[in-house]
Amino acid sequence: MSGISVQSGEACAAPVETPAAGAPARTWQGPSAPERLAILRRARSIAIVGASANPARASYFVGTYLLSSAPYDVYFVNPRAETILGQPAYASLADLPVVPDIVDVFRKDSDLPGVAQEAVDVGAKALWLQLGSWNEEAAAIAEKAGLDVVMDRCVKIEHARFHGGLHLAGFDTGEISSRKQLLSGRG
């Protein structure tokens, strides 16, 4: 993806709807970092709902990362696509050939409760809402059925963070080192 500058988290953001004035405050408490790591470690498959074949879309960027740098079987859900990143695209979670461990969602806020219910209906183990996605109704639906829920976090960033790969694809790790860097032409 040369020539594309990615600001921290920008490539993983989901479509954002502006919250209505007076929207309720966030009350849901998400899993801790060790709990998110455990969710990722238990998973063998991830379904990306709202996946896009457009390289400018966050879901494409996340799909590319997961296919190339993570140990998961990745499935793309988009009823308007036949293939994404060379993989078949499925019309719905129910059409997948497996039950996904994680349902990673790139959909607008009003779609999230329905996607949560679909994840419950197919027997997924976790509902993961991307950066910018926060829907307590969707979280309640999923948690009531026993699913783990993560909201407003990028699965790519979290996986890379836990596995030392945030430097990949232009993310600055923010790591400060006392080691001097060797510059070309200097000894």
Q: Mean pLDDT throughout 145-173? A: 77
Q: What is the pLDDT of residues 89-122, one digit of tens each?
A: 999 999 999 999 999 999 999 999 999 999 999 9
Please report, for residues 68, 112, 166, the alpha-carbon distance to residue 116 in angstroms, rounded to integers and kept in the order given.
Answer: 27, 6, 28
Q: What is the pLDDT of residues 116-142, one digit of tens each?
A: 999 999 999 999 999 989 999 999 999
Amino acid at position 185, single letter: G
**pLDDT at 174 (0 to 100):** 46
Q: What is the pLDDT of residues 45-86, one digit of tens each?
A: 999 999 999 999 999 999 999 999 888 999 999 999 999 999
Q: Are 142 and 135 in contact, with CB atoms under 8 Å apart?
A: no
Q: Virtual CA dihedral for 78, 83, 87, 90, nearest 10 degrees?
A: 30
Question: Could you identify the residue written with the tokens 């197919």?
Answer: 122
Region class of 87: left (phi > 0), else alpha (psi between -120 and 50), else beta:
beta
Q: Are 96 and 117 in contact, with CB atoms under 8 Å apart?
A: no
Structure tokens at 185: 């032409």
Q: How confident is the model at residue 11 (pLDDT cuts 50, 70, 90)?
A: low
Please report, for residues 44, 116, 150, the alpha-carbon distance to residue 107 in angstroms, rounded to integers and kept in the order given.
Answer: 22, 11, 15
- Beta strand ranges found along 95-147 (DSSP E): 102-105, 126-129
Residues 85, 66: Cα–Cα separation, whole Å: 11
**pLDDT at 167 exceeding the cut of 60:** no
What domains sit in the chain, N to C, each tagged with a CATH number?
Answer: 31-170 (3.40.50.720)
Residue 131 DSSP label: B
Whether the pTM exceeds 0.85: the reply is no
Residues 114, 154: Cα–Cα separation, whole Å: 20
